[in-house]
Structure 1
Amino acid sequence: MAACEVCGNDYDMTFEIHAQGAVHTFDSFECAITRMAPICEHCGCRIIGHGVEADRKWFCGAHCARSMGASEIVDRVMA
């Protein structure tokens, strides 16, 4: 068994995530998200989807990016 690096649960069904040269062990997606998901620079929520990046900062979506001055970010392109 292996212990989750977030909550410490010693569990027989942990899983590993390999990212940026490191190996992380978790017992749930909740713990994996808590440790690995970036945080929106504007609203503070965990970015679980794609998110957007502007000026080397991460945002959960275009609204939050625009709220912090990234006026070029849009939710969709009009045809």
Structure 2
Amino acid sequence: MTGSCEVCGNEYDKAFEVTAGGKRHVFDSFECAIQALAPRCAHCGCRVIGHGVEAQGKQFCCAHCAHATGVHALQDRAQ
């Protein structure tokens, strides 16, 4: 598929399409797809590209960040 990346505007012969939330997106790289689609941690602001954790309607990259905002019920792994 040839297409123009919605993030950087690059016209690329190996562009790919992602459908998320009923909307069609075209990217030239996973890096651009992550910038456009990955949620940000509610505490540190980094992109959550793994599973992350979720509580009280917020997404966090890890339990440490959740704890920093007062959410203490989450943990990354058993201790």
Identify whether the pair has TM-score above 0.5, normalized to the shorter chain: yes
Q: 2:53 and 2:78 mapped to 1: Cα distance?
A: 15
Question: 1:63 is paired with a residue of what secondary structure?
Answer: helix
Q: 1:69 and 1:10 mapped to 2: Cα distance?
A: 44
Q: What is aligned with 1:6?
A: 7
Question: When the two structures are aligned, how many residues end up with a matched partner?
Answer: 78
- TM-score w.r.t. structure 1 length? 0.93
Residue 21 of structure 2 is aligned to residue 16 of structure 1: no
Q: What is aligned with 2:59?
A: 58
Q: State percent identity of aligned pairs.
A: 59
Residue 52 of structure 2 is aligned to residue 43 of structure 1: no
- TM-score w.r.t. structure 2 length? 0.93
Code of the residue aligned with 2:69 in structure 1: it is M
CA-CA distance at 1:18 after TM superposition:
1.0
Code of the residue aligned with 1:41 in structure 2: it is A
Q: 1:70 and 1:48 mapped to 2: Cα distance?
A: 21
CA-CA distance at 1:77 after TM superposition:
3.0
Q: 2:8 and 2:76 mapped to 1: Cα distance?
A: 36
Q: 1:19 and 1:38 mapped to 2: Cα distance?
A: 13
* Runs of 4+ that moved beyond 3 A: none
Q: 2:13 and 2:60 mapped to 1: Cα distance?
A: 35
